[in-house]
A = this chain, B = another copy of it.
Amino acid sequence: MIYIGVDYYPEQWERSQWESDVKLMKASGVNVVRLAEFAWSRLEPKEGAYCFGWLDDAIDLFASYGIDVVLGIPTMTPPNWLVEAYPDVLPQLDNHLGQPGVRGHRCYNSPSYQKKTRQITRQLAAHYNDHPAVIGWQTDNEFALLMCGCEHCTEAFHMWLKRTYGSLEMVNKQWGTVVWSGEYSSWSQIRLPKNHHTYFNPSFLLDYRRFQSESVTAYQHIQIEEIRKLCPTHFITHNTWADGTPLHHYELFKELDFASIDYYPNTSPEKVKTNPYSGALLLDRTRGMKQAPFWVMEQLSGPPGSWQNIWRAPYPGFIRAAAWQSISRGADGVVFFRWRTAAVGSEQYWHGLLDHHGVPGRRLEEFSKFSKEVGELSSLLEGTTVNNNVAILWDFDSHTSFKLQKQTEGLDFEEHVKELHRSLLRLGLGVDLIDPKVDISSYRLIIVPMLYVLTDETAAKLEAFVEKGGILVVTPRTGVKLANNQMRQDHLPGPLARCLGVRVTEYDSLGLEPHSIQHSSGIRYSAHYWSDLLELQGAEASCVHADQFYKGTPAVTKHAFGKGAAYYLGTFPEEAYYDALFADLSEEAGLSPMTSLPEGVQVSVRERDGVRLVFLLNMSRQTQTVPIEGSFVSQLSGESVQQKKQLEPYAIDVLTPAL
């Protein structure tokens, strides 16, 4: 079953309004709602006094309309009484956010908070484990890395270090504390920083982030443990946010049944060129978190904007198209945030499907259309998954470490991945974003963007991948660091040098200085941020640097290795170069790139035995014509589709091969 629904906060509305809301939801095609994720103060108004009656009533009401319920554990918002009674719940952050009245004011390592979390989770799980409408749970809300420096965190960090390194001597060695007399002679000297100045030891900083990311996962485990015990048939997920400070999502979702994401594609026209691709990347990343279908737990309903400027009003069709985009890239559930726009509190301008005035308008219309369409395709969609031949590695360690040491002006980890991903999408290729730790043997083309922290294990796996016939593309700043965030002391790209047949003798941090490279065909491409000076060791140069004192030296190299080939990029070229390169390489890998796909049109495929659904989405504001090879049938209109398919702005279609 494909779930389509909304987030609803019965506690924020007059009870007299509930039923008309639910009736309208039902009529609009809602089959699931998420409830209670911020309602701790209503569920436990004072310590130990649980009040679930109102939620019982709400759930019963939904049940009576045949709508299923996902319950949120409301731990992102500890109530005032809790904070007053257990002040250690508040985190100690440099930017002072850690105070009640807002949200997220909790230290994951606080024993009091952990205890109260276990209690409220157990109560909820015990109460709702047999309600027929309740199908699953959401842990907390949008976990974030908290750089808390409280005493509980400090102690927990000491324990973490003891587990990880065994001794203080080993900590000193792994962190290289000998520099600047930073050696510790007692555990108590290891203090958490009050600010995050770049002067700090980078090995320490990376471990501090790893520890805090693990603190989130460990904290979440409390909730999972209680729910699993009492609700063995319910699913458990978490709605991540996947932006800002890096969190180890692969670890975070390990214990969960599926991943969920909160998806707010930007409605601004000036960002239309890049934005629908960014959205696709976020959805692909979410699918990659567990290499499986996922849910969108908060899908765009209207212009967000409570904490900053309100976003643009969504263009007609945008809301529906973005929801279909979620489905097309692997979502099995799409829950819109939110039903009604809040009249009170901090989120007054995070617009829902209904405006403050509550009169249904074009936003609810688009939702209804989408839910109806999905409902009709439900039997086709069920059980289908997205299976790709191309992967981009997204490494938590590299991402985190890279953010700690700014190398050059303009270079950004996320933006670099976006460019690579966008280029692949423009070729109609499906791409997985994956943890370097997973099995990669089924892919044909793997892109390795800035694998800054490179272990020998990963290097060996990638080398084996090429040896067996895979095609590998590696970009600069790969192999710079050891896992302990010390510098590797071999030539870059370190243990991948052999497979790539090239080594970096020196580098030039270009920042925003203009640079260009020249392909052996004579075509010039602009390039950015960084130049590696390369020495060929078996590879051949396909591009050379076209300026600077190293003009004419290799800039991009290709190395036939085993049955495969390995490409090294010694700079960050413009996207046109990626387009050309990936068109060639995907051909080489036996894939079928669509070189004439119009700008903004996205293709995705979901399939299972006997079923192949091709999604065509026009995420642009121009009417676009998509070339079609073969013969298809539109599952939305029933029409036959051949040669080409014209799509109005934000139009979408779902095709199946004609018999």
- Write the residues of chain A forming the contact surface with B, with a CB cutoff of 8 angstroms: 9, 11-12, 38-42, 45-46, 74, 77-81, 83-84, 94-97, 99-103, 175-186, 188-189, 191, 193-195, 197-204, 268-270, 303, 305-313, 315-316, 341-349, 355-359, 361-362, 405-409, 486-492, 505-511, 513, 531, 533, 549
Contacts and interface: CB of A to CB of B under 8 A. Distances in A.
Chain A interface main SS type: loop
B100 A182 contact: yes
A199 B103 CA distance: 8
A182 B513 CA distance: 50
Q: List the number of copies, as a whole number.
A: 3
22 contacts: A11-B178, A41-B178, A41-B183, A77-B182, A80-B183, A95-B195, A97-B199, A101-B193, A101-B204, A176-B345, A199-B307, A309-B406, A309-B409, A310-B407, A310-B408, A312-B510, A312-B513, A313-B531, A355-B505, A356-B487, A356-B489, A359-B491
A96 B194 contact: yes
Contacts of A490: 357
Best-surrounded residue of A46, A357, A409 (most CB of chain B within 10 A): A357
B513 A180 contact: no
Contacts of A306: 198, 405
A491 B357 contact: yes
Contacts of A510: 312
Given A38-B180, A101-B204, A357-B490, A310 B346 contact: no
B343 A269 contact: no
Contacts of A99: 191, 193-194
A348 B405 contact: yes
Contact of A506 (B96, B186, B362): B362
B342 A189 contact: no
A655 B275 CA distance: 63
Contact of A81 (B84, B189, B305, B406): B189
Nearest to A317: B549
A182 B102 CA distance: 7
A34 to B, nearest CB: 15
Contact of A181 (B79, B184, B270, B313): B79
Best-surrounded residue of A175, A197, A203, A492 (most CB of chain B within 10 A): A197
A361 B408 contact: no
Given A79-B185, A179-B342, A202-B346, 6 more contacts: A77-B180, A80-B189, A84-B189, A102-B180, A200-B346, A312-B509
Contacts of A177: 41, 345
Contacts of A307: 198-199
Contacts of A305: 407, 509
B310 A509 contact: yes
